[in-house]
């Protein structure tokens, strides 16, 4: 395990454990705070927005990396947190860094959370936000012909499903999908779950079961838009970059999704971050060794959107 990760886990060892048999979503949200110990990465501009979607409004935040005087490409970013926790604030630093390194504007979407809004509500928010961005391109200062989706963990799951819906519903054309340790299945018997999902893990099997239950209710009934590895047809999806972490229960399903995309003829670059754990890209202040993985992923976005 990476030494910076080990030191971080040691510092967190005294935190009280969470009992997922009794914990309430509100309590877990209250305990989830941004991991930020210094000034956030600088970008040219940050704007908080309200997206007027059919039947509801949701918040979003636009990051503009530089003042180019011309329309920028846009990355729709969906934060992780098991569809239940996290926010624009917990992923602010990651979105800033992604905008800086990719040269694209980033629109971070504050989709509604489960269990108050279960599947498919969060996915509907994410997909409708993509359509909103395309129709408001002039207001955002972006090029609607150069768009991509990205997300980490449950947000990576939402990004995959948005890409699938955009293909199937003749939605906005996407040039790339960046999937960071994505949730792609509800299979808790993989080798990476057995190796890394024990009690006390940063992301345990008990935690993921709880997240899935909040999102879909009956895990046995999970369908292919909630678990994209179960999709029968992945052909025609945008090229993908998939980053997984070596010491992560979700490692194997992320790699399996990369392989499924390749078999469907989709161009994929996948990378396993050695020594890292789930969530490491939201810990860059404490784990600077993770930054090269972000830089390489952002470079692929930059090339796809150029």
Would you name the residues annotated as active-site residues? 153, 248, 278
| Cα separations in angstroms, 206 against 18, 193, 209, 262 | 10, 10, 5, 31
> Across the chain, how many H-helices and E-strands are there?
10, 8
CB 7 within 8 A of CB 277: no
Strand-pair partners of 245 = 273
List all residues 6 or more positions away from 128 whose beta carbon is below 8 Å from its beta carbon: 51, 53, 54
- The token pair that represents 118 in the structure block: 């279960």
Distance of CA 59 to the CA centre of its chain: 17
Per-position DSSP letters for 73-107, written without gaps between them: EEEEEE--STTTS--TTTTHHHHHHHHHHH-SEEE
Which helix (H) or strand (E) segment holds residue 205: the answer is helix 205-216
- The token pair that represents 241 in the structure block: 């970059």
Instruction: Report the C-alpha gap between 83 and 81 in whole angstroms.
Output: 5
Instruction: Report the C-alpha gap between 22 and 52 in whole angstroms.
Output: 36
């Amino acid at each position: 395990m990476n030494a910076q990760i080990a030191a971080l886990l040691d510092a967190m060892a005294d935190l009280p454990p969470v009992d997922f048999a009794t914990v309430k979503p509100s309590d877990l949200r209250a305990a989830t705070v941004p991991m930020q110990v210094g000034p956030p990465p600088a970008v040219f501009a940050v704007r908080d927005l309200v997206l007027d979607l059919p039947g509801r409004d949701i918040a979003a935040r636009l990051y503009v990396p530089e003042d180019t005087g011309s329309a920028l490409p846009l990355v729709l970013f969906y934060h992780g947190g098991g569809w239940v926790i996290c926010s624009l604030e917990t992923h602010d630093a990651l979105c800033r860094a992604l905008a800086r390194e990719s040269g694209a504007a980033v629109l971070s979407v504050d989709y509604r959370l489960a269990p108050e809004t279960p599947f498919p509500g969060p996915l509907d928010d994410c997909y409708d936000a993509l359509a909103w961005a395309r129709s408001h391109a002039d207001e955002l200062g972006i090029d609607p012909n150069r768009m991509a989706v990205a997300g980490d963990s449950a947000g990576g799951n939402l990004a995959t499903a948005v890409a699938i819906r955009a293909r199937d519903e003749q939605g906005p054309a996407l040039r790339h999908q960046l999937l960071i340790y994505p949730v792609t299945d509800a299979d808790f018997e993989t080798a990476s779950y057995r190796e890394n999902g024990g009690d006390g893990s940063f992301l345990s099997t008990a935690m993921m079961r709880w997240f899935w239950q909040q999102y879909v209710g009956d895990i046995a009934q999970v369908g292919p838009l909630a678990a994209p590895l179960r999709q029968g047809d992945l052909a025609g999806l945008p090229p993908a970059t998939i980053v997984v972490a070596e010491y992560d229960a979700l490692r194997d399903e992320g790699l399996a999704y990369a392989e499924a995309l390749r078999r469907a003829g989709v161009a994929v670059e996948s990378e396993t971050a050695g020594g890292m754990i789930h969530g490491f890209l939201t810990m860059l202040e404490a784990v600077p060794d993770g930054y090269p993985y972000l830089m390489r992923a952002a470079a692929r976005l930059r090339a796809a959107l150029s």
